[in-house]
Amino acid sequence: MSEYQYYEFMAVDRPLTGQQLKEVNKLSSHIDASASHAVIEYHWGDFKHDPIVVMRKYFDAFLYWANWGSPQLAFRFPHGALPADLLNDFDCDAFVTFSKQQEYDILHFDFGQYEAEDEWHEYELGSFIAIRNELLEGDLRSLYIAWLASQDMMRDYEDEEEEYEAEEEDDEEEEGNEDDEANIGPIVPPGLNQLTAAQQELMVLLRVPSALVGAAALYSDDARLAPADDFMDWVQRLPRERCDNYLVRLANNEPGLSRLLVRELRDANQHVQSEQTSRETRVPFTELLTKVEAIEAKEELERQARERQGRMDRLQYVHFHQDELWKRVDEGAMRQTSTGYDQALSLLVELRDVADEYKEVQEFQTRFNTWIQSHLRRPALIERLKKNKFTIPKP
């Protein structure tokens, strides 16, 4: 299989200038760029620039994936639009980083060690872009999904770690106790039982099992409506110099300014909204895994029940339409083609199963013996029937 790499960038807050677009088009001979979007695809090649640096300079979002896996997703935010301690509650520094610059802050999901699944799956940045706005609105479900992905990935190294920890257990008991306290998990965000389309696509990109999110959803409150913002009253409380500062920045068309103002107003009036906060529940990953086992066991039982019901429904249908199906058996055999013989065989297997289920085996065999007499000179059909354990009478 040839190598394939996909890079995609998107400008959200404002389009590229003409000069910026010229610069972007010079980044690669493989690029297809506009003032708001750029895609770079490689077969047996590679992008010669750091995509995060490119995003920081020109764009607001970035997506990377390859046919061998290694997914990356990143967003650029106006500096200060998100809290500085955004990731403090999430123990996944090896996979998710939040770097703060003078003008922009970068949130980077980097799961470069992930291998692609056997089934080919293509991703587009448009499917994830809503996550940027969700984070600006304080929705942390995407970060929790990334934390689940990081913990699930670390399980791949569990055997090696357990062997090492067993050797060091006597010397590091105190440190182990500290680790247990650190692994209680982040606060479970509300709304995990009703993810947005972008969050569901992030699950697929980061290969987070649905049962794992379902386990966490057991501890998640329903998604709550944001409390009403009394901006008229809050703006009046801003100092005069802060109002003037925002007006000057507005005149300079500063990107993301409205988000920064809303954040400042909400932060200054948190006491007004405190009554609407959700419970703060933390669940260790090991506890989630226990729930996953129960969920998967329940789903398997439900799947088996659906299969049994589907089979019974089909048997019942066949039982009440035997004459029609015997006619289709004969039509398939009369075509004298491979497809026709396969159709006849499939229907005969169902008719035999029905006879066994309804204790009508003798009736089926009698009808089969009569039908097969006119088809004994069709060796391809007879061979199929014998392979499926049909009793062929002698001519």
Tokens of 208: 């987070």
How does pLDDT run along the chain (395 residues), one tens digit per residue? Answer: 468 999 999 999 999 999 999 999 999 999 999 999 999 999 988 899 999 999 999 999 999 999 998 999 999 999 988 999 999 999 888 999 999 988 999 999 999 888 877 778 899 999 999 999 999 988 999 999 999 999 988 876 564 555 555 555 544 544 444 444 456 899 999 999 999 999 999 999 999 999 999 999 999 988 765 566 667 777 777 788 888 787 888 787 777 677 777 777 767 766 555 555 556 899 999 999 999 988 888 888 999 999 999 999 999 999 999 999 999 999 999 999 999 999 999 999 999 999 999 999 999 999 999 999 999 999 999 999 999 999 898 77
Confidence at residue 175, expressed as pLDDT on a 0 to 100 scale: 47
Q: Are strands 104-110 and 5-10 parallel, antiparallel or unpaired?
A: unpaired
The reply to whether 306 and 336 lie within a common domain is: yes
The reply to whether 208 and 254 lie within a common domain is: no
Count of domains forming the chain = 3
Residues near 235 by beta carbon (within 8 Å), at least 6 away in sequence: 243, 265
Instruction: Quickly tell me which residue has 């770690």 as its tokens.
Output: 161
The reply to whether 309 and 360 lie within a common domain is: yes
Strand locations in 37-170, DSSP E? Answer: 37-42, 61-66, 69-78, 96-100, 104-110
Confidence at residue 334, expressed as pLDDT on a 0 to 100 scale: 94
The reply to whether 59 and 183 lie within a common domain is: yes
The reply to whether 102 and 33 lie within a common domain is: yes
Confidence at residue 277, expressed as pLDDT on a 0 to 100 scale: 52
Distance CA 358, CA 287 (A): 47
In a domain, 289, yes or no: no
Tokens of 154: 């670390």
pTM confidence score = 0.71
The reply to whether 73 and 102 lie within a common domain is: yes
The reply to whether 179 and 245 lie within a common domain is: no
Confidence at residue 47, expressed as pLDDT on a 0 to 100 scale: 92
In a domain, 321, yes or no: yes
In a domain, 288, yes or no: no
In a domain, 279, yes or no: no
The reply to whether 150 and 58 lie within a common domain is: yes
In a domain, 280, yes or no: no
The reply to whether 187 and 316 lie within a common domain is: no
Instruction: Quickly tell me which residue has 């088809």 as its tokens.
Output: 375
Could you tell me the residue range of the domain that residue 58 belongs to? Answer: 5-224
The reply to whether 77 and 170 lie within a common domain is: yes
Q: Which residues pair with residue 63 across a beta bridge?
A: 8, 73
What residue spans of 321-337 are helical by DSSP H?
A: 322-334
Query: Which helix H or strand E contains 10, and what residues bound it?
Result: strand 5-10
Instruction: Quickly tell me which residue has 């790499």 as its tokens.
Output: 5
Residues in the chain: 395
In a domain, 393, yes or no: no
The reply to whether 261 and 340 lie within a common domain is: no
Domain boundary among 190, 224, 258: 224
The reply to whether 71 and 180 lie within a common domain is: yes
Domain boundary among 203, 224, 245: 224
Confidence at residue 304, expressed as pLDDT on a 0 to 100 scale: 93
In a domain, 282, yes or no: no
In a domain, 395, yes or no: no
